[in-house]
Amino acid sequence: MFSRVVNRPPPEMRKGLELMDARNGHVSRYSKGMIVIHWVTAVLIVAAWFTAEGGRHVVANPPLLHFSLGLAVLALTVPRLILRVVGQTPPPPDERRAWMALAAKIGHAVLYAFLIGLPLSGWYAASRLGVPVSFFGISLPTIAAPVQGAPGMIADIHENAGTVILYLAGLHALIAGWHHIVLRDGTLRRMSPL
C-alpha cells in the first residue's frame, strides 16, 4: 500500500504526465465518441429494462418504445466497435498486473456480446410472436417466422439476459469504482465525459 502512495504522482504533475503519455503514442482517455456512446448506451439499457413487457401482453399491446430503445443500443454498438478497432484505446492503468488487464478484456468482451446479442434476441422474440418491429416509427422486417405458441428458447434467454446485463453492468461499475477509489489508478477519468 505504501509503495502505491509513493508511486502516485502529485496532482500538479498528473496533467503533464497525461500529455507525456500522449507524446509517447499512448492516449490516456477513451475518445469523445467512445465516451458519449458508452454513457448513452448505459442510459438506453436502463430505459429498455423499465419499458420491457413479457408474455401475452406483448402481442396485444407491443412495447414499441422498448423495441426502439433496445434497437438504439444495437445501432450504437456497431459504430462503437468500429471506433474501438480503428481508434486508440488507453493502455491498462497498471501494466504490471497482466491478469487484471486480461480480466478487464474478458469482462468488456462479455458486455459487448450482450450489447449485440440482447437486441438481436429481442428482435427475434418479437418476430416469433408475430409482433411488428419498428425503430422510432420506421418499420423493420421480421428476422424469424411467427409461431402460434410460445416464442421459444431464444425469447426466454432474451427475457433473462435483459436483467442479467443490469447485474453485469452493476458489477462492472463496482469494479471501476474499486479501481478508482482503492487502487487510485484514475480509471473513472478514462471514461469521464468531463
CA–CA gap between residue 184 and residue 5 (Å, rounded): 9
108 part of the interface to ligand HEM, by CB under 6 A = yes
Q: Are 111 and 58 in contact (CB under 8 A)?
A: no
β-sheet bridge partners, residue 134: 139
> Among the residues of the chain, which ranges form H helices?
2-7, 11-23, 32-50, 57-60, 64-86, 98-129, 153-178, 187-190
β-sheet bridge partners, residue 139: 134
Locus of grid cell 444495437:
74
Q: Of the candidates 36, 42, 64, 75, which one interacts with ligand HEM according to CB under 6 A? A: 42
Angle CA 106–108–114, to nearest 5: 105
29 part of the interface to ligand HEM, by CB under 6 A = no
111 part of the interface to ligand HEM, by CB under 6 A = yes
In whole angstroms, the minimum distance from the beta carbon of 2 to ligand HEM comes to 25
**Binding pattern for the stretch 129-148 against ligand HEM, x by CB under 6 A and - elsewhere:** x---x---------------
Q: Of the candidates 27, 112, 144, 186, which one interacts with ligand HEM according to CB under 6 A? A: 112
Residues that bind ligand HEM (CB under 6 A): 38, 41-42, 45, 48-49, 52-55, 58, 66-67, 70-71, 73, 84, 89-90, 104, 108, 111-112, 115, 118-119, 122-123, 125-126, 129, 133, 151, 155, 158-159, 162-163, 165, 169, 172-173, 176-177, 187-188, 190-191
